[in-house]
């Protein structure tokens, strides 16, 4: 990530009790004290004019604690910005990371009145490849953020407050893009939503399994007991290859059952708990997502890649992917410590990560954890602030927990 941190935010100490206060039943702040400003950054003559300077100010008289990945200097670790070109969404191509509850070291400290400034080159983690009128908005839920009085940054109805800017309009012409271009490791360099050298990949988006009972019936579940796992393993010991192979098998079972549930038109507590009250369009989106996730999990000619070596700084995560680089999944320490089945399991993590790929379900990490995912389904299952990724059918953990179904719901 090519970003210049102009004023570092360093939390030199953070008590574990403060973290616990922000994740338990804590009082709610009266208003969001974090104000976000964004302007076009001045670029050098050979630079990319799509860089932005983001300022975040703590306007309260209390210290704010915010997970570092929610701040703009973590642009390549999370989809912080929503960008359109001539009204059309611009693809994010940076890391999508499954994280657990943050530890003390994961928090940044913003003292009363403090302002931080960060310059972010958007061309690194967004597919900015054509001239046009760009609109840029920073928006991220302040999950786990809190103030020093113990209050959490939530709205009265339980939604997380947003770290959000006003839209910034940028006009980029062809010469701007030519200057940036191909010297970065961003969007174009990582490739698009295809797998080079794999022209025979089955098309996603259709359920091609045999179903003699009609489209409304899930049909018989496929027997996975003799279905081998021909995946690609990188930087994995023999023991970890065996564990990853079992996780793929179990994830296939999870996605097959989940797909069958939705294909049957079932609307039980399992559905409403994770995807909210029934709405035809939302139900159909969830159903199609699981058709695609199941088809991707079933790829069996080495297309699915498990890499057991994570980048520095991400070792304690569960896993991450680059959404436009299917089907490569990087698994990290929390993955190996997780159970094979159940909540936040190895099998469920693979479903979570598979859902991120643009050609699968194109999900985001809007909120994490069972509580966050369920609250999203309860309070705002459709959208938040006009962002499709903020809906339950755009959030990866809602898909994982629906697939894991732990505890069991009908």
Catalytic residues: 353
In 3D space, the residue among 70, 191, 68, 76 whose CA is nearest the CA of residue 122 turns out to be 76
H-only helix segments in 207-279: 238-263, 269-275
Q: Are 206 and 294 in contact (CB under 8 A)?
A: no
Closest CA to 329 of 348, 308, 313, 345: 308
The dihedral region occupied by 22, where left means phi > 0, alpha psi between -120 and 50, and beta the remainder, is: alpha
Examine residue 64 and say whether the peptide bond preceding it is cis (omega within 30 degrees of 0).
Answer: no
Q: Which residues pair with 82 in a beta bridge?
A: 137
User: How far is the C-alpha of 297 from the C-alpha of 348, rounded, in Å?
Assistant: 12
What count of Cα atoms within 13 Å lies in the side-chain half-sphere of residue 267? 9
Rounded Cα distance, 19 and 105, in Å: 11
Tokens for 391?
């809906």
Whole-angstrom distance, CA of residue 104 vs CA of residue 146: 13
123, 134, 178 from 52: Cα distances, Å: 11, 12, 18
How many whole angstroms separate alpha carbon 195 and alpha carbon 1?
Answer: 23
């Amino acid at each position: 990530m090519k970003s210049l941190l102009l004023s570092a935010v360093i939390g030199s100490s953070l008590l574990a009790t403060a973290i616990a206060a922000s994740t338990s039943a804590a009082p709610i702040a009266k208003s969001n004290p974090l104000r976000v400003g964004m302007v076009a950054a001045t670029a050098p003559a050979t630079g990319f004019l799509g860089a932005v300077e983001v300022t975040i100010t703590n306007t309260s008289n209390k210290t704010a604690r915010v997970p570092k990945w929610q701040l703009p200097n973590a642009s390549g670790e999370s989809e912080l910005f929503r960008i359109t070109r001539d009204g059309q969404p611009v693809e994010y191509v940076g890391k999508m990371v499954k994280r657990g509850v943050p530890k003390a070291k994961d928090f940044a400290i913003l003292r009363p009145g403090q302002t931080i400034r960060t310059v972010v080159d958007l061309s690194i983690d967004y597919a900015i490849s054509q001239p046009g009128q760009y609109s840029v908005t920073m928006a991220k839920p302040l999950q786990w953020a809190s103030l020093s009085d113990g209050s959490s940054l939530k709205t009265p109805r339980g939604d997380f407050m947003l770290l959000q800017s006003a839209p910034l309009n940028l006009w980029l012409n062809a010469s701007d893009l030519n200057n940036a271009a191909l010297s970065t490791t961003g969007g174009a360099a990582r490739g698009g939503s295809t797998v080079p050298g794999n022209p025979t990949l089955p098309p996603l988006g259709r359920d091609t399994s045999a179903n003699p009972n009609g489209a409304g019936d899930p049909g018989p579940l496929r027997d996975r007991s003799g279905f081998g796992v021909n995946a690609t393993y990188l930087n994995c010991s023999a023991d970890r290859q065996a564990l990853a192979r079992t996780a793929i098998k179990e994830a296939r079972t999870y996605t097959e059952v989940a797909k069958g549930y939705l294909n049957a038109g079932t609307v039980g507590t399992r559905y409403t708990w994770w995807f909210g009250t029934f709405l035809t369009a939302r139900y159909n989106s969830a159903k199609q997502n699981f058709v695609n996730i199941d088809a991707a999990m079933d790829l069996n000619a080495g297309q699915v890649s498990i890499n057991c070596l994570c980048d520095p700084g991400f070792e304690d995560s569960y896993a991450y992917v680059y959404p436009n680089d299917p089907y490569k999944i990087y698994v990290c320490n929390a993955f190996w410590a997780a159970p094979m089945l159940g909540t936040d399991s190895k099998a469920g993590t693979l479903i979570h990560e598979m859902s991120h790929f643009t050609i699968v379900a194109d999900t985001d990490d809007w909120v994490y954890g069972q509580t966050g995912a369920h609250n999203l389904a309860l309070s705002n299952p459709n959208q938040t602030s006009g962002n499709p990724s903020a809906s339950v059918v755009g959030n990866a953990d809602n898909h994982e927990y629906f697939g894991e179904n732990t505890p069991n719901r009908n």
